Amino acid sequence: MDRTRTGGRVFRRLLYAADRSAASRAALMAVAGLAVGGRTEVVVLHVDDRGQLEEGRRLVTDIACSLIALAVDARPELRQAPPGRVAAAIAAVAAEQGSNLVVLGSRGRSDLGGLLPGSVAHEVVERVSCPLLLVRAGRRASARRRRVLVAVAGDEDLAELVRTAAAVAERDAQVLVLHVPTPGAADSGAVAPEQLVEQVVDGLRRRGVRVRGRIEAGASGATREIARAAVGYGADLVVMGSRRLPALAALLEVPSAVAGVKG
């Protein structure tokens, strides 16, 4: 990847939350592409909420070894969490490790169902203080061309979102910046949707990214609309910025949400 085009963005530490799904396997190649060369430390995390520690330990060890074979600086990390608290555990580890990006595979009937309310990815993006990269399974796994959807809410760090999206996009990628206005946003003094999208689009174009913007009505809810648009666009990757607000809540939940497992 051309770092001059992306503004020199290099992720110091990347958290790859993995399981045995096809979506997670697709995410492995995206992680390798972002971290090859050893300048980025990849923490391969599996959160066990089913009491299958040995299986989880083998999983993270195997993935870390696969990444190391691809010239990636990777190490395994296994944690335990109560059922239903996987997202809280991922967010807690991201905060503990000082992650610059969290990578997840998308799971669900629509192939981007991981964005929907109640999903792990949806809960993670509500908790972490860094951007989230969601990798769609089964889309052009070996092709060079990629389609990237950048979902803009309006309350995230836009400069960080632009830097992340530029770093994620391959040279020949097509990027769509999507904003789904929430009800009442216009009355709350928030930045106008057109201005918000234009700001992100301009930032990406200055980094040489081929990009266009779009505003969608959110009749079915913002995350559902993002998932629908991503599938319609044929997106391989979805980039979402940190919502910032719940970061403290994630930190406060560390003792009850996640426990380390020694090697």
Tell me the mean pLDDT per 10 residues along the chain, length 263. 47 92 84 88 94 94 96 95 90 94 73 58 83 77 69 87 90 90 60 91 94 82 79 88 50 43 56
> Is 139:149 a contact under the CB 8 Å cutoff?
no
Q: What pLDDT is attached to residue 220?
A: 59
Which strands make up the sheet holding 174-179, listed edge to edge? 210-215, 174-179, 147-152, 237-240, 132-136, 101-106, 13-17, 41-48, 73-80, 259-260
- CATH of residue 21: 3.40.50.12370
- Is residue 45 in a domain? yes
Distance of CA 138 to the CA centre of its chain: 17
Q: In sequence order, what are the residues at sequence separation of 6 or more whose Cβ sits closer than 8 angstroms to the Cβ of residue 199?
A: 158, 191
Res 262: pLDDT: 52
Residue 2 has a pLDDT of 44
Q: In this structure, is residue 7 part of a structural domain?
A: no
Q: What's the confidence (pLDDT) of residue 24? A: 84
What integer pLDDT is reported at residue 257 of this predicted model?
42
Instruction: With respect to residue 2, please indicate whether it lies within any of the assigned structural domains.
Output: no
* Cβ-based neighbour number of residue 83 at 10 Å: 8
Number of domains the chain contains: 1
Q: What is the pLDDT of residue 45?
A: 96
**What domain range includes position 117?**
13-254
